[in-house]
Structure 1
Amino acid sequence: MKLNSKNLVMRYNAQHTTPAIAKRYLSSPFHPIRPKIAHMYAHRDRNTLWWQVSIVQLLEYKAMVRSWSRRRTRTAFQNALRKQGFDPDGKRTAEGLLRYKWDLTGSVDIHPRPQSVLSSFEDVQRDADSLLERILRQWASGAKRARDEDASVSSYSDNP
């Protein structure tokens, strides 16, 4: 699912996906860090939210601006998670235990748009909050659908 706002683009997948940079190393059989990347993703916790900020759309800017934008976007997304009751790994906090039945899992790729460099942090935060709310609505409806399907499958399997 791809979500857009003025300052950010978020792609959410309920399944864990390997980021494009890691895929580049994994697809090269002779790359020196391939074994390390393969081991890292083979043993990564599947009960957490995998998320990253990619600055591909900001390559026209200097490295200092790109790192500043990445750091600012990460902070905004972590704040949005905290407001919804999750820690940065998608695990429910005390507040999240009251609001949600499961931890948030899957993958989120966040891409700051070039206009986010000129926007205030409050605008970026507002966009992160609204996009995360949309992801959570989609995630909650998908989790409900999966629970309903599991219940219907178990009810069929219980009756011969």
Structure 2
Amino acid sequence: MRLPRIPLSGHPPAPTPTPSPQIAASSGNKVSPIRNDTRGPKGYRLVKVPGVTCFRPSFSPDQRPAYATQKFLDDPYHVLHLKTKRRIEARDKNTLWTMVYTANAVSQYRTVRSFCNRKMKRGLEEALALRGFDYNGRQLQQPRSQDNRKKIPGRPSKQFPLQNLGNLKGSLTFQLLEPMITAKQEDVNAQAVKVVDAVVKLCQPYPILSGMQRLRKPREPRSGKPSSGKPRPRATLITEKSEAKAVHP
């Protein structure tokens, strides 16, 4: 019978902590559950768009690297720390940084997760092209059509005129959900367009007005005469005290 080893201090060794059944089950199946809350990742804002069921978009006005890249940046002793740091510093900060990731809870097969990522990236590229941007959020000279990706004249959308928009700046992440596996590419493209429209509004420093608000003329005064630009005198309430002050200042 082998006796337990006692350290020099005279105290018995501390018992090893046993993992909880949930952690043990998740580690055995190699499946990490997805949070069902409405909060986005740390530093991101959850973009709530009705009708989006295949993924969960989150936006941040700051440029943030991917999670795998951030792991190298946080460890100064990692062999890829300096290389990753130089690459992030040389990256264009005047663009939109996008990240698409699929958790193991969606599928435990790597090929299925890669298939979902490619489907999401194609849908995002088509949505940005329809709104007059490339994949990195840079504004295009002319928008591209949805059929053959040919350049067509005109505006990408009535609500978002091309001349009033600049490059999209910030970070946009997509957490893919289980419906992405069976979703069609057309449905993914339609949902991505809704998210791009919401992100365009978030990236603008001023509110984007609709067509009716842009064409609405300023209201004329009731008398029909143009206003002189001078502020109108404020109406004062005449009381006994005010009359007494006027008589005896």
Q: Report the alpha carbon displacement of residue 61 of structure 1 after superposing the two structures with TM.
A: 3.1
The answer on 1:28 being equivalent to 2:28 is: no
Tell me the equivalent position of 1:69.
Answer: 116
The answer on 1:102 being equivalent to 2:187 is: no
The 3-state SS of whatever aligns with 1:38 is: helix
Larger RCO: Structure 1 or Structure 2 (Cα < 8 Å, ≥ 6 residues apart)? Answer: 1
Q: Report the alpha carbon displacement of residue 58 of structure 1 after superposing the two structures with TM.
A: 5.1
Q: Which runs of 5+ in 1 are unaligned?
A: 146-160
Alpha carbon RMSD of aligned pairs, Å? 1.9
The answer on 1:127 being equivalent to 2:191 is: yes
Tell me the equivalent position of 1:136.
Answer: 200
Q: Per-residue CA shift, 1:25-62, capped at 9, x if unaligned?
A: 11112211111111111111111111121122556331
Letter in 1 for 2:126: N
Percent identity between the two aligned chains: 20
Q: Per-residue CA shift, 1:88-141, capped at 9, x if unaligned?
A: 11111123683433111111111211111111111111111111111112222x
Higher-helix-fraction structure? 1
| TM-score of the pair, normalised by structure 2 | 0.53
Which structure has the bigger radius of gyration? 2
The answer on 1:39 being equivalent to 2:103 is: no
Q: Is the 8 A contact 1:57 1:114 kept in 2?
A: no
The 3-state SS of whatever aligns with 1:115 is: helix
The 3-state SS of whatever aligns with 2:206 is: helix
How many residue pairs match? The answer is: 143
Q: Report the alpha carbon displacement of residue 69 of structure 1 after superposing the two structures with TM.
A: 0.7
Q: Is the 8 A contact 2:106 2:178 kept in 1?
A: no
The 3-state SS of whatever aligns with 1:17 is: coil
Higher-strand-fraction structure? 1
